[in-house]
Amino acid sequence: MDVQPGPGNIIRVDIARDHSLVKMISLLMIAFFFFVLGIFIDGFEILAYVTWYLGVVALILWDRTTVELTNDMVKIHRPFFGSTILNKKDITETLIKRNYHFTFRYIWYLIMVGMSVYLFYGVFSDIQMYQIQHAPMDALIRLILSQSMLISLFIALFFNLERRLKHSTLLKVNTKNRSFVFYPEKPDEFEKVITEHS
């Protein structure tokens, strides 16, 4: 009989050599390539913005992992990125470890909030300057899109990191070939479930 988390229950998971992460980063790299082409052809600049913001959305979705537990395996589902299977019989070691970043989470929060304020202030100042200079509307739109690129990426990273910082402990699961880090609410109970198999 399957044992599954309740609907909407999301467990963050970091996986060594995660191919879905490579796909997501590839979108951002393609966006940079389009920006280079946009220097010569205007249409590619718009394509670059679309690709960049799709990459940021992909980064947010990539982190929304759900875990399905059966008697013999752990299925880690990432929206639009497929699933990763962890066979329980392949588990060689489980460790409940202290999340060292949890200790410094308030420092991390202050840094992230400070950076966000700084970035937003820079965008606001540039928009005011463009308005004073009576820049055309298309130039203002391009300014907002370009200046917001870094902010959007930073916000996505902020939320992904914050979801890990709130956990004081984590569960590390090793197999012969890969390593998984889970961030469940109750690592001890989660460890018992994933180490039981038929």
Task: Please say if the pLDDT value at position 69 is more than 70.
Answer: yes
Task: Please say if the pLDDT value at position 7 is more than 50.
Answer: no
Q: Can you read off the two tokens belonging to residue 157? A: 């990273």
CB 175 within 8 A of CB 86: yes
What's the confidence (pLDDT) of residue 9?
Answer: 67
What are 87's strand-pairing partners? Answer: 73
The predicted-structure confidence for 72-113, as pLDDT tens digits, reads as follows 889 998 887 778 899 999 999 999 999 888 888 888 888 888
What is the crossing angle of helices 137-165 and 42-62, to 10°?
A: 20
Cβ contacts of 39 within 8 Å, gap of 6 or more: none
Q: Alpha-carbon distance 27 to 72, whole Å? A: 34
DSSP assignment letter at 63: T
Q: Alpha-carbon distance 160 to 105, whole Å? A: 13
Task: Please say if the pLDDT value at position 162 is more than 60.
Answer: yes
* Beta pairing class for 12-15 and 179-183: antiparallel
What's the confidence (pLDDT) of residue 3?
Answer: 44
pTM of the model: 0.78
What's the confidence (pLDDT) of residue 116?
Answer: 83
CB 173 within 8 A of CB 194: yes
Cβ contacts of 59 within 8 Å, gap of 6 or more: 24, 153, 156, 157, 160
Task: Please say if the pLDDT value at position 6 is more than 70.
Answer: no
The predicted-structure confidence for 18-63, as pLDDT tens digits, reads as follows 777 777 788 888 988 998 888 888 788 889 999 999 889 888 888 8
